Amino acid sequence: MKNIGKLQRASRKVKNHLIDVLYSLNKGRGRGWITLILIVLALSFTLFLNDTQQPDSAFSALEVVKIIDGDTIDVLLENGETARVRLIGVNTPERGRPYFSESTAYTKGKLLGKQIYLEFDVAKKDRHQRFLAYIWLIPPPNYDMPSLEEIKSNMFNTQLLLSGYGQVMTLPPNVKYQDYFLTFEREARENKRGLWK
């Protein structure tokens, strides 16, 4: 984390220098090709820094330490703190509603004490500061384009839908798997699973 902070400060300095160089070019005091090469290098460096600030695409393994309900869990972070995670695209019954206990027990049985892998979409947190994620039991080799079989077998969000313990809840901009989720909910409904009985 300290290194990322240093990189972010260096990135700001590079951006400020870029503005100065562009201003001097505009005033006719530039040094031609050398200045242009410096600009290209600085832009490449800035793009590299922006990439380092994205979620880890290698899916770091995290342990599930608490189940809040069917669609919300707590995970243990590498620094020893816990973070709350809300599943993207799925809504399970709230406390006091039919199938609350069943969906919570299902999630507990599948996830508590297990290692999982988080995949983020566009919005990383909700208004309650919970992380929003797709939960993978086994990370896909190609996270940009996992196969249908990998999504169906290894993503917990889809397992909740397929078992009938949750229903689709789409909140843009997190819509990467929306079409799959609608298909899986329809399958559970047609087969009268869980809350669709």
pLDDT (tens digit, 9 = 90+) per residue, 117-148? 999 999 999 999 999 999 999 999 888 899 99
pTM (2 decimals)? 0.70
68, pLDDT greater than 50: yes
Average pLDDT over residues 150-169: 97
What's the mean per-residue pLDDT of the chain?
Answer: 82
* CA distances from residue 92 to 6, 40, 139, 168 in whole angstroms, order as listed: 42, 49, 23, 9
Annotated active-site residue 29? The verdict is: no
Domain spanning 61-196: which CATH class is it, in words?
Answer: mainly beta
Point out the catalytic residue in the list 86, 119, 150, 185. Answer: 86
Who contacts 178 (Cβ-Cβ below 8 Å, separation ≥6)?
89, 168, 170
pLDDT tens figures, 3-23: 444 444 444 554 555 455 445
Pair 160, 65: CB distance under 8 Å: no
- Which amino acid belongs to residue 194? G
Q: Who wins on pLDDT, 80 or 1?
A: 80
**E strand or H helix at 73:** strand 72-76
Catalytic residue among 130, 187, 189, 193: 130
Task: Name the more confident of 57 and 111.
Answer: 111
Band the pLDDT of 92: cuts 50, 70, 90: very high
Q: Is 94 a catalytic residue?
A: yes
Distances (CA, A) of 190 to 138, 178, 180, 195, 197: 27, 18, 15, 12, 9
Q: At 136, is the secondary structure helix, strand, or coil?
A: strand
Measure the CA–CA gap between 127 and 138, rounded to whole angstroms. Answer: 28
By percentage, how much of the chain surpasses pLDDT 70? 70
Taking CA atoms, 179 is separated from 89, 148, 185, 186, in Å, by 10, 11, 10, 11
9, 31, 94, 186: the catalytic one is: 94
Q: What are the residues facing 83 on neighbouring strands?
A: 75
| pLDDT of res. 105 | 97
